[in-house]
Amino acid sequence: MYSAKKIFAIFAAILMLLSFLGTLPKAALAAGTIYYVDSSRPDDSGDGKSTATAWKSLTKVNATTFVAGDQILFKSGGTWTGQLYPKGSGVSGSPITLSSYGSGSKPLINGNGLTMNADGSGGSAVYLYNQEYWEIKNLEVTNKGATAAKRLGVNVVASDYGTANYIHISNLTVHDVNGINTDKKNGGIAVQALGTSVSTKWNDVKIEGNTVYTVDSTGIQTHSRWMNRGGMVDSGPWSGFTNVLIQYNTVYDIGRDGILVRVSAAPVIQYNVVHHANMRSGAEGVAIWPFNTDDALVQYNEAYSTHGSLDGQGFDSDYVSNRTIIQYNYSHDNEGGFVLICNNGTSNFNNGTIVRYNISQNDGTRIFQLAGPVTNTSIYNNTIYVGAGVGTNILLINDWGGYASNTSFKNNIIYNLGSGGYSYGSGTNTVFDYNVFYGNHPGSEPSDAHKLTSNPLLVSPGTGTGLTGVNGYKLQTGSPAIDSGVAITGSGGIDYWGSAVPANSVTDRGAYEGVGIPSTPVVTVFSDNFESGSSSSWTTSGGTWSVITDGSKVFNQSLITGEALAFAGSAWTNYTYSSKVKLNNAYANAGLLFRVTDANNYYMLRINNSTNSLDLYKKVSGTMTLLTSASFSSSINTWYDLKVKVTGNTIVGSVNNTQLITWTNGTTELSTGKIGYRMASSTASFDDAVVTQ
């Protein structure tokens, strides 16, 4: 018989062992099994636990209930057709993983046109239902049917479940899902809370580093039927997803919406690139937006080339939402504009949206749109650039069951070279203060007690190339926007580039904060004022060229028939070329050539008297193409200062120091070359040719 002392010692040892086990990480308690799947195997007869005994089919995987810590690895380069729907759930600290092994292309899961059930479940190439603690990564996914139907690439569903935890989706390539664009709840990747009897939501959703393209209708989304508030009615009271992070995804060629987050509390949507959204819907669509969501943080994203003007913006703070923050984003070339802030008038709110420290370049239709009775919107320290020759409106406040109230615009730089203006509708308490309005000043431009209209001295406006390629929107030393703004309480503390706000004691205007960027010393690499009476620096082709006296010595072309060209200089890459130009006959055209390789390859910026326009052309392999035009009324026998600046693929054209054209070539061509003059069936004179770098 054991003595009491021995029994106590055994009991103490057991307690110590239990205590030790309790300190182990949960993953260590559930190491799991690695299963391999290889489409080249003859069958499923192996145990799947080594590459030599790998399973073959989705059927085998789908019939298995996996446990915490298990990994299901598909062989790279393999292809499977059908639905991947493994069973089981992991636990906290020990998820189940779907991934790949080996080298080569990602394993392909082809749903081959699977369609969704009426309740939104099923219908995807990769599917989970009422399962939690999963990681899905390193796969290629497609689900294209013979005709468009409601379908998804990846569908993760919790239904009548309560709180489901931990779904991480990363490094997938999801493409070619031909859903329907009349229903937003299909497309690429979706995480959903469905059901009708038990309130359901997700916690810890991470969708990261995926590439999603050519899908209809939505690229990446969260959706919940547990959404009731503010006039929204479905299964039950609002139950927002928590700890939602959507980042570093690339989403493009999307039928309708790019990234759409619904029914979430404090989601973070950051470092994503969404372009060419809303390509096939013919209806409302936006690149990135939250809906029926509180405290969404939308930051460090790039959105461009969203199609259409029914919405068509890069960003949207949509209705039944509170306190959305849209900051540090780069929006450009979206047909519908930069940002939409809306409330449909039947809900109780879109309240407290903040739009700050963003850059918008050449967005279309309207830069800011406030639709419906949105309240307490703050728009500050944004830099907005609208190029010449377009009618993009800066602001539209429109009716949608009411009008916006208590809207504040402060510390913004509006660099408006277009002809668009401002429409206030019946909005109330719309306040502008401490803004810069430069360029076009339409009659609708707002009053502003501390308005500036002088040139803000942006380093190189209109030359943005990407989220981190917008240094042209910093301020030069001596800018009137430096230290002239107003302090904003709770401004986020940093500018677009991450610099502290304020840098000095006073906040700057625009998205940049700092002491200013010293202007780059200008180096003249070529000049010719023809005062020597010689044109020896120039090589001509066609026409009759000579140096004549017209007050001073000028370079003249007098033959009114045919094409006349003159070339000079070296094979420069990035430079500014300016020259005086005078048209000498009615309906004449003449202009500057740049990046000239030869008579069949160059860019041209020309004044056209017959069409009252300034035109930008390219000629490649002998084919002349009109790239863009701006309205410009010219007169015969009048000197004009014509200037073109070419940086990378971006071209900026000006007349008499007024910028009229900005254009970026999506194709890298005509990357370097000389300068020149050209006209066709016209006579013209030129003077004071200068090239600087």
pLDDT tens, 438-447?
A: 999 999 999 9
Residues pairing with 163 in the sheet: 201
Is the omega angle on the peptide bond into residue 502 within 30 degrees of 0, that is, cis? yes
CA atoms within 13 A on the CB side of 35: 26
CB of 343 closer than 8 Å to CB of 292: no
Q: Residue written as tokens 């401004």?
A: 491
Give me the mean pLDDT over the 526-540 stretch.
95
- As a three-state string, the secondary structure of 518-534 is CCCCCCEEEEECCCCCC
pLDDT higher than threshold 90 for residue 6: no
If one counts every other C-beta atom within 10 angstroms of the C-beta of residue 20, the result is 9
Supply 664's token pair. Answer: 């970026």
CB of 385 closer than 8 Å to CB of 357: no
pLDDT tens, 380-411?
A: 999 999 988 889 999 999 999 999 999 999 99
13 — pLDDT class (breaks 50, 70, 90): very low
pLDDT tens, 612-648?
A: 999 999 999 999 999 999 999 999 999 999 999 999 9
CA atoms within 13 A on the CB side of 504: 13
Task: Report whether CATH 3.20.20.140 matches the domain 68-473.
Answer: no
Is beta strand 639-647 parallel, antiparallel or unpaired with respect to 650-655? antiparallel
- SS3 assignment, position 12: helix
* Confidence (pLDDT) at 658: 86
If one counts every other C-beta atom within 10 angstroms of the C-beta of residue 41, the result is 20
User: CA angle, corner 502, sides to 317 and 288, nearest 5?
Assistant: 20
pLDDT tens, 216-232?
A: 999 999 999 999 999 99
* Confidence (pLDDT) at 26: 38
Q: Which of 85, 93, 171, 87 is nearest to 133 (CA)?
A: 93
* Confidence (pLDDT) at 389: 83
Q: Give the CA distances from residue 18 to residues 10, 23, 26, 149, 455, in Å, rounded to whole numbers and listed in that order.
A: 12, 9, 14, 55, 73
pLDDT tens, 182-191?
A: 999 999 999 9
- SS3 assignment, position 332: strand
Q: Give the CA distances from residue 31 to residues 24, 61, 97, 132, 610, in Å, rounded to whole numbers and listed in that order.
A: 12, 19, 12, 17, 78
Distance CA 475, CA 469 (A): 15
Distance CA 235, CA 354 (A): 31
pLDDT higher than threshold 90 for residue 20: no
309 — pLDDT class (breaks 50, 70, 90): very high
pLDDT tens, 341-358?
A: 999 998 779 999 999 999
Distance CA 396, CA 420 (A): 11
- The average confidence (pLDDT) of the chain is 94
Give me the mean pLDDT over the 644-657 stretch.
93
Q: Residue written as tokens 């930051």?
A: 299
Give me the mean pLDDT over the 105-113 stretch.
98
Q: Which of 300, 351, 356 is nearest to 321 (CA)?
A: 351
Distance CA 585, CA 556 (A): 13
pLDDT higher than threshold 90 for residue 18: no
DSSP 28-50: HHT---EEEE-TTSS-S-S-SSS
> For the chain, what are the domain ranges?
1-26, 68-473, 524-692
CB of 604 closer than 8 Å to CB of 585: no
Distance CA 325, CA 301 (A): 13
pLDDT higher than threshold 70 for residue 15: no
Task: Report whether CATH 1.10.1740.10 matches the domain 524-692.
Answer: no
If one counts every other C-beta atom within 10 angstroms of the C-beta of residue 514, the result is 18
- SS3 assignment, position 6: helix
**Residue 513 carries which side chain, given as an amino acid letter?**
E
Give me the mean pLDDT over the 578-588 stretch.
96
Q: Residue written as tokens 């020759």?
A: 389
Supply 537's token pair. Answer: 């620096």
CB of 624 closer than 8 Å to CB of 602: no
CB of 367 closer than 8 Å to CB of 308: no
pLDDT higher than threshold 70 for residue 17: no
Q: Give the CA distances from residue 279 to residues 283, 305, 345, 568, 688, in Å, rounded to whole numbers and listed in that order.
A: 10, 9, 28, 44, 47
* Confidence (pLDDT) at 201: 98
CB of 136 closer than 8 Å to CB of 169: yes
Give backbone dihedrals phi and psi of 26, rounded to 5 degrees, phi first. Answer: -60, -35
If one counts every other C-beta atom within 10 angstroms of the C-beta of residue 531, the result is 12
Supply 104's token pair. Answer: 């080569």
H/E segment holding residue 241? strand 241-247
If one counts every other C-beta atom within 10 angstroms of the C-beta of residue 460, the result is 18
pLDDT higher than threshold 90 for residue 8: no
Supply 89's token pair. Answer: 């759930």
* Confidence (pLDDT) at 19: 42
Distance CA 419, CA 293 (A): 36
- SS3 assignment, position 496: coil
Distance CA 472, CA 680 (A): 36
CB of 585 closer than 8 Å to CB of 682: yes
Q: Which of 285, 296, 351 is nearest to 329 (CA)?
A: 296
* Confidence (pLDDT) at 30: 65
